[in-house]
Amino acid sequence: MALLGVNIDHVATVRQARRTDEPDPVWAAVEAELGGADGITFHLREDRRHINDRDARVLKETVGVKLNMEMAIADEIVDIAADLKPEQCTLVPERREEVTTEGGLDVVRHSQRVAKAVERLREAGIVVNAFIEPDEDQLRASADVGFHGVELWTGAYAHAKSPDQIETALSDLLRGIETGQELKLEMLGGHGLTYRNIAPIAALDGFSEFNIGHSIVARACFVGMREAVTEMKRLLTLHASASAGAQARPGDGNTRAGR
């Protein structure tokens, strides 16, 4: 069964709405661990719009499960990561005007800069993954520049509006997993995954871990972080043994995309 990394950025988003000190994303991380999270993920953005340097430091001191830092390949952030030494870094594209990370990193286009960041982080003893779209060229380039693994962008599936689009997105992910496995890359998945759309993705063979943020934080507003994480873990367990490549069915509440 795939592991669950819980992204706690949006707890910090609520804090930053008032630029105060609550809710504390570090408390959220502790609650997520108690709910069964296998990892905690945070994104230290260059503009520090949610997670800040203090959060990164205290998360490193506090979190007992795997700590995964999402980050751009900017020199300042690479320096911070190499110093902080989370267990894992995930390199993502970052644009200031975006609401959240949109699409994957273009490893083919930026291969030299990416390779430099990967080398630096690997030297610091950190597992380094790329957040990419399930595209063969991106997968091959990721293996070539020395990533340990890749997190496949599941956004095309999450944003799909029709059964055909859902099916296409799932088969693209499946093909990406197969190529990644041939290249000996660890395969993770994330972006836009929710309680409603997780079932077919959880049933795909080959993902070792999912990173889920917004939907869990949203659910936590009503039931608390611990319970929200426990519920998502339950869904991952429930659907993990379903046949690989299970397709979403129109009208099936568990497979509605874009929610």
Active site amino acids:
43, 70, 191
At 116, list the tokens. Answer: 């430099």
For residue 235, the surrounding DSSP H or E stretch is: helix 225-240
215 vs 255, beta carbon nearer ligand PXP? 215
Looking at 15, 50, 148, 191, which residue binds ligand PXP (CB under 6 A)? 191
Tokens, residue 202? 């959880």
Q: Write out the two tokens for 136.
A: 């063969």
Kindly state whether residue 7 participates in binding ligand PXP, applying the rule CB under 6 A: yes
Q: Where are the beta strands (DSSP E) in 106-154?
A: 127-132, 149-153
57, 159, 214, 256: residue in contact with ligand PXP (rule CB under 6 A): 214
From the list 59-67, 112-120, 175-183, 210-218, the region that binds ligand PXP by CB under 6 A is: 210-218
The span from the CA of 87 to the CA of 75, in Å, is 19
* Least distance from ligand PXP to the Cβ atom of residue 249, Å: 23
Of residues 217 through 256, those in contact with ligand PXP by CB under 6 A are none
**Rounded distance, CA 88 to CA 59, Å?**
13
Q: How many CB atoms lie within 10 A of CB 163?
A: 16
Instruction: List b or e across 185-222, with b for residues whose CB sees 16 or more CB atoms inside 10 angstroms.
Output: bbbbbbbbbbbbbbbbbbbbebbebbbbbbbbbebbee
Contact flag: residue 151 with ligand PXP (CB under 6 A): yes
> Which of these segments, 30-38, 54-62, 81-89, 187-195, binds ligand PXP (CB under 6 A)?
187-195
Instruction: Give me the 27-66 binding string for ligand PXP, x by CB under 6 A, dash otherwise.
Output: ----------------x-----------------------
| Lookup result for tokens 């902080």 | 84
Contact positions vs ligand PXP (CB under 6 A):
7, 9, 43, 70, 90, 92, 100-101, 131, 151, 190-193, 211-215
